[in-house]
Structure 1
Amino acid sequence: MSDGISFYRYAAVVKNLRGVIYYRGGREDRLRWLLSKFKYRSLGVTPSSANLMPKRKVLVELAYPVHAVEEAVRLFSEVIPLEAAETLCLASAYISPVMLIGELDEFKPAVIRTVKTSMNLDEKAWKLHMRIADYTTLDFYAWSTKNALEALTNDKRLVEALHEREERAADDERRYWRLRSDEGRTFLAYLDPLRIVYEAGLRDEFFRIGEDAAAVLGLVAALII
């Protein structure tokens, strides 16, 4: 686990970060392709995947900004793989989309909506939609974290909040009008950590963590690379 991070360093990383990579080995060609798209902005690497990554200036190993994030990872890892739990929590805490090189199934309990495409994206389209996914996660953050804190107070409010969050995600899909289709491969998924809290019966545990639990409960966009 991480030793933490100073606030000034955390702020600098958040400002420059464009995604948190989910990678568990293999598919080296996709990893190389992704890294080639970033020269001046950073991509986050989770502590559990740092040993799988090449040395690149654009890669930043992420630390747990507060202890609540570490606690949330521990709780979520009872439901999804540790690596996925860590990626989901740190992507929310650093207000950044997930760049997923692997299987979306490993995040299945958090998936609330998906966007499909039948297009073969060129480099320009990829870069555009990487930026849009970043905006999706950023624009959701303030509302979805506040919404999650309210939801932790009781079960009825939690169910209501889940519906509200799915409606917001459905509305957000319009951002991807250039490539969205009814068929094809899954290009993007909306991940809701609060869905895991509900399905796994973890509301009381997260409520006890306190307000900092909200850091990991933002709605997060995940691009399937």
Structure 2
Amino acid sequence: MSVEVSFYKYAAIVKNLRGVLYWKGENEKLKWLLSRFKYRYLGLPPSSTPIKGKNIVNLTYPTHEVKTATKLLSKCMSTEAAEALSLASLYISPIMTNSLQDFDTSIVKTVKTSKEMDNKDWKLHMRIADYTTLDFYTWATEKAAEVLHRSLDEILRERRERIEKDVKRYWRLSEEEGRIFLAYLDPLKAVHQCKLQKELKEALRKFPDVSSAFGIIATLVI
């Protein structure tokens, strides 16, 4: 069971975190990914299989109350995926994964490319994904709180419109065909798809800070 992280440590991790890892198995891609971050952290959710690396930091929840978001989302995806999605929002960080399909109920938009990405391409687009998640954060979490008095369908339309506009950040690689290298995840979409609106409203009434786990997350598919 994870414990709450102290505020000063939480702030330091947020400042230095470059991604939340959601990874299955160990392979050359993981070794390559870990080698990209010598001076910044990659975060590992509590339920993840341990991964060794001097730049790996084990993530915990900033408050007990926000765990409610993971509990809610785990009704719509695996607990491990729900935890990664919640913590990515709480730490305002993109997800880095080799298992995008586990987030299927929350995928709003994907970006494809046929280009063979080199280290320079990855470095640039990891940074852009970080900006995407950060720039969405305040607006998206405030919109999540509006579920208490607005139509979820309407809020989801607004969020999708913002996502469609944001895709232009990836113009250097974006193509109609190719493999998915980035996806926009919206936990509110999962709530809608799995008909969890009532449970979310109850959680927000009891713990308003739960909205902080409902940002829009840029997810890099490695």
TM-score, reference length from structure 2: 0.95
Report how far residue 29 of structure 1 moved.
1.0
Structure 1: which 4+ aligned runs deviate by more than 4 Å? none
Provide the residue aligned with 1:41 in structure 2. Answer: 40
SS in 1 for 2:66: helix
| Matched letter for residue 5 of structure 1 | V
Which of 92, 97, 107 is matched with 2:94 structurally? 97
* Aligned: 1:116 with 2:115: no
Specify every segment of 5 or more residues in structure 2 that has no aligned partner in the other structure, as ranges: none
Provide the residue aligned with 2:12 in structure 1. Answer: 12
SS in 2 for 1:47: coil
CA distance in 2, matches of 1:152, 1:197: 14
Report how far residue 105 of structure 1 moved.
1.4
Superposed CA deviations along residues 198-225 of structure 1, whole A, max 9, x for unmatched, are 1222222222223111111000000000
Report how far residue 72 of structure 1 moved.
1.3
Say how many residue pairs are matched. 219
| Matched letter for residue 44 of structure 1 | G
SS in 2 for 1:48: coil
Correspondences of 1:204-219 after superposition (within 5 Å): 204-209=198-203, 210-219=207-216
CA distance in 2, matches of 1:205, 1:78: 11
Report how far residue 170 of structure 1 moved.
0.6
CA distance in 2, matches of 1:152, 1:11: 29
Provide the residue aligned with 2:102 in structure 1. Answer: 106
SS in 1 for 2:153: helix
CA distance in 2, matches of 1:2, 1:207: 25
Specify every segment of 5 or more residues in structure 1 that has no aligned partner in the other structure, as ranges: none
TM-score, reference length from structure 1: 0.94
Superposed CA deviations along residues 146-179 of structure 1, whole A, max 9, x for unmatched, are 011112334x2x1111001011111000000000
SS in 2 for 1:180: coil
Q: Is the 2:76–2:191 contact (alpha carbons within 8 Å) kept by the matching residues of 1?
A: no
CA distance in 1, matches of 2:149, 2:23: 34
CA distance in 2, matches of 1:171, 1:180: 13
Report how far residue 59 of structure 1 moved.
0.5
Report how far residue 82 of structure 1 moved.
1.1
Q: Is the 1:66–1:212 contact (alpha carbons within 8 Å) kept by the matching residues of 2?
A: no
Provide the residue aligned with 2:174 in structure 1. Answer: 180
Superposed CA deviations along residues 63-85 of structure 1, whole A, max 9, x for unmatched, are 01122331111121111011110
Q: Percent identity?
A: 53
